[in-house]
Amino acid sequence: MIRREALESLGLRKLGVYSPSSIRGCKRALYYSRIGVEPELNWDDEMLALFRLGHIIHDMRQRDFALLYPGFVPETPVCIEELGIAGHSDGVFVNEVWNLEIKTVGDSTFKSTTSPKKDHKFQATCYMKALGIPRTLFVYINRNNGQEEVYPYSFQPEIWDEIVEIVTGVESKVRAGVPPEKEVSAWKCKRCPYLHACQPFGEKSKSTWRRV
């Protein structure tokens, strides 16, 4: 159960698609997701605890919004079939016509955030495009103390154009059967669910983190 929920939080609940939450990340990881490589979750105890906490906060706020706003629909599925993009938005305020994105972050990130992160803008843009909703309400929550900041964000055509360029570029690699170049990062690679397939560090690529 924990493994399934954790993979879902990474946008990996469905194989063979491009996940909105990963769309601005490593193109090689997008490639492996698209061709259906089975992901492996390698997390240490701290990462697992942070996931559990974030999951609890998400559920709590979604329940709150459902009570406060009639017509709120949590975990709204989205799909842009022609590009192979699929995932789930945190929710939609149907009557108010807003998409919702909840982001739980640490104290230092929360204090330094003054607008939605670029990765999060890309993610929300996929949802807005798929749902036909032109605006997203970002709710950033400090997991250290529960403090919240809300940032409205409108659909930006130029970001959607970048997304299309990313996906079509990876899709061309998929058709050719040639993965994109490795984007090696010591921090990102060791927690990547496709570490086992990519082998960015050669024989040293085996994760020493806890496998859930």
Q: What is the pLDDT of residue 51?
A: 85
3-state secondary structure 111-124: HHCCCCCHHHHHHH
CB-based contacts of 66, cutoff 8 Å, min separation 6: 72, 74
> pLDDT tens digits for 112-154?
999 999 999 999 999 999 999 999 999 999 999 999 999 999 9
- Average pLDDT on 176-205 reads 87
Triad 112, 24, 35: Cα angle to 5° = 145
The DSSP element (H or E) to which 81 belongs, if any, is: none
> pLDDT tens digits for 55-71?
999 999 999 999 999 99
Mean pLDDT, the chain, whole residue set: 90
The answer on pLDDT for 194 being more than 70 is yes
> pLDDT tens digits for 29-58?
999 999 999 998 877 778 888 888 889 999
Q: What is the pLDDT of residue 211?
A: 47
200 vs 182: CA distance, rounded Å: 7
Q: What is the pLDDT of residue 8?
A: 54
* pTM of the predicted protein model: 0.89
> pLDDT tens digits for 149-180?
999 999 999 999 999 999 999 999 999 999 99
Q: What is the pLDDT of residue 161?
A: 98
Pick the more confident residue, 132 or 188.
Answer: 132
Q: What is the pLDDT of residue 92?
A: 98
The answer on pLDDT for 203 being more than 80 is no
Q: What is the pLDDT of residue 1?
A: 46
Distance of CA 179 to the CA centre of its chain: 21
